Amino acid sequence: MSGTPAIEMKGDNVSVPVRFAVVGTGWRSDFHIRMARAAPDRLEAVAVVANSDAAAERTAAKWGIPVVRTLEDALAFAPDFVIAAVSWPSMPSVVTELVALGAHVLAETPPAPTADGLRELWSAVGGSSLVQVAEQYMLMPGHASRLAIARSGVIGVPTAVQVASTHLYHATAIMRSLLDVGMDEAVVNARTFSAPQADPLTFDGWVEDPSPSPKTTTIATLDFGDGRMGLYDFVDNQWWNPLLARRIVVRGSLGEIVDDTVTHLTGEGVIISPISYRRTGVDMNLEGNEVVSASFEGHLVYENPWRGCRFSEDDIAVASFLEQTGRWARGDGPEPYPLADACQDHLLGLAIEESARTGADVRVTKEVWA
């Protein structure tokens, strides 16, 4: 999962950038447009749909790209796909309207707020094969490297994944990818705990008084059957809080991956090896500040497909996802993360919340999208 090269149109030796439009003018919209601004030879934001004159004026001034007021006007710019970067309540209706217009759609997570909303959305557009959802985590260098190693058989058959990093549907997406459990049923058991925790950095920036205050930790087990399980561990604002580490464990029948260390059984005994990253811009290196590649026991397991853009690791994943979505929309590549997978992961996330709220197990059974 090392990403994709620049798209080449069939019959043409010139690479043509992936073209996308965005519905919405919030921070998620800005995130995607920023990727296109950083890599204009491979990504192009062709239009933005704003819901007010003020938002339209602000967005046009900030990015200098066409801002329109209707979906039809955005489609007139011939994007390969349209990103729905709107609020949770608005997402299903925007996605449904775009599909009705025949557009390829990339919906932000989650595609609908509730379990019933997911089912209704699937009933409306699930058969169209026109909807992907923006779940980029497994394209991040670290996760992509772990996935490559897990699928190589080095640690045997993966049986357990522990995620203390991101929340709900993102965490379950990581678990399902590494365990390869598909749409299998699951039993979810979750509990919450409150304790003082300093929280100096939030989405809005550094706080003036970082004194410890009550924060909630949610712990959940997800039993996927056949001995396969996930362990979810998330603290309020763990995404931003620099005092809280991110941890991941992938346990298999012949060893385990703990963050960037792999312990596994070989014919020569137990071997402990690191996942090693080549990063430029360190000390006297003048190649630019970015991750270049990852290797394990003498073999590359990941290469940055966006070298020279100086992207953060999350930016690499987002840009890769955009390009993969473009390949899919053009008929040149597989679905990067279909609506069915997004519905399943959000349903599992909702089950975590329900179990934590009720104190009882929640069974996630086969759904219509399975």
Q: Using an 8 Å Cβ cutoff, are 295 and 276 in contact?
A: yes
Q: Which amino acid is at 166?
A: T
Opening angle at CA 356, ends 355 and 357, nearest 5: 90
DSSP 333: S
Residue type, 81: F
Give dist(CA 69, CA 49) in Å, integer: 5
Quick: pLDDT tens for 298-319. 999 999 999 999 999 999 999 9
Question: Does 67 have pLDDT greater than 90?
Answer: yes
DSSP-assigned beta bridge partners for residue 363: 187
Tell me how far apart the 2 most distant CA atoms of the chain are, in Å: 68
Q: How far apart are CA 186 and CA 195, in angstroms?
A: 29
* pLDDT value at residue 286: 86
Residue 10: per-residue pLDDT: 36
pLDDT reading at 148 higher than 50: yes
Check residue 137 and give its pLDDT: 97
Provide the pLDDT confidence category of residue 284 given band limits of 50, 70 and 90.
confident
The residue whose two tokens read 């699930």 is 126
Token duo for residue 363: 């069974």
| pLDDT value at 5 more than 70 | no
- Gyration radius of the chain over CA positions: 21
Confidence of residue 3 (pLDDT cuts 50, 70, 90): very low
Q: Per-residue pLDDT for 320 more than 90? A: yes
Q: Provide mean pLDDT across the span 144-163.
A: 98
Cα separation, 188 vs 172, in Å, equals 11
- This model's pTM is above 0.85: yes
pLDDT (mean) for 146-159: 98
DSSP 8-state code for residue 108: P
Are 118 and 368 contacting, i.e. CB atoms less than 8 angstroms apart? no
Residue range 140-147: mean pLDDT, rounded: 98
Q: Phi first, then psi: what are they for 160, rounded to 5°?
A: -150, 140
- Using CA atoms, how far apart are residues 196 and 339, in angstroms rounded to an integer? 38
On the question of pLDDT at 90 being above 50, the answer is yes
pLDDT, one tens digit per residue, over 172-217 is 999 999 999 999 999 999 999 999 999 999 988 999 999 999 999 9
Give the pair of three-digit tokens for residue 255. 């060893």
pLDDT in tens, 231-260: 999 999 999 999 999 999 999 999 999 999
**325 — pLDDT class (breaks 50, 70, 90):** very high
Q: Determine which of 4-13, 36-45, 169-178, 313-322 has the lowest per-residue pLDDT on average.
A: 4-13
pLDDT at 15: 75
1, pLDDT greater than 90? no
